[in-house]
Amino acid sequence: MSESLTQALSDLEEENVLKLVQERLAAGEDPLTLMADCREGMAQVGKRYEANEYYVSDLIMAGEVFKQAMGLISAKFKMDGGPQRGTVVIGTVKGDIHDIGKDIVVTLLRAGNFNVVDVGVDVPPDKFVEAIKQSGATVVGLSGLLTISFDAMKDTIGALSAAGLRTQVKVMIGGGPVTQQVCDYVGADARGADAQAAVTLCNGWF
């Protein structure tokens, strides 16, 4: 079943993807498993694009199908009824417009009773600073899928320091190419290898 969902998304079969997601959710399958299968499907789309099998229009279509699937999956996450655990500001840094990984982290954090301020994509440092000031967040998540985002992450953390906020917030970074070396370079507190790792970090900090 996992392979069929991944393959359907890779093949841009919109109706089949949504049908499979609905069927597996109805069968009581773990939403996290479905998320992982959809992410693998998107990874395969990326590979087909790199191999010149797909065009930009195909990437856009795949992204739309993915978001529809995520909407169905996200609806299955329920707050446990406990008190909110804290506020997290999260966004994709300046120069990068990828939002899939960020959106998954946002979904999981909200399901875990965190108040999440999603500032979007291609976010300049000053917007992160303003969001933290307005929300009182004590954790900020910086997402980036492109290697050029590393300097943007570093600049954002520098802006937090300049605004006198760095000692008040924990900074986590994430994205496909993010390693511990990148974490050290930009001056973040930690990196999340995947969406669940980001949630684990926040659980520990709060």
Sheet of 87-92, strands arranged across = 115-118, 87-92, 139-143, 170-174, 190-192
Q: Using one digit for the tens of pLDDT, what is the confidence trace for 173-182?
A: 998 889 999 9
For residue 36, give its domain range: 2-74
Q: Tell me: the pLDDT tens digits for 4-49?
A: 999 999 999 999 999 999 999 999 998 888 988 998 898 888 889 8
Of the residues 50, 74, 98, which one is the last residue of a structural domain?
Answer: 74
Measured CA to CA in angstroms, residue 160 lies from 106, 122, 157, 168, 191 at distances of: 21, 17, 5, 9, 17
Q: What is the CATH number of the domain that holds 195?
A: 3.40.50.280
Q: pTM for the full model? A: 0.75
Cα 206 to the center of its chain, rounded Å? 19
- Which amino acid would we find at residue 94? K
Give start and end residues of each alpha helix (H) in the chain: 2-10, 14-26, 31-50, 56-74, 100-111, 125-135, 149-162, 180-186, 195-205
Output the six-digit token pair for 43: 């990874």
Residues 168 and 140 in one domain: yes
Contact 88, 134 (CB under 8 A): no
Share of the chain above pLDDT 90, in %: 58
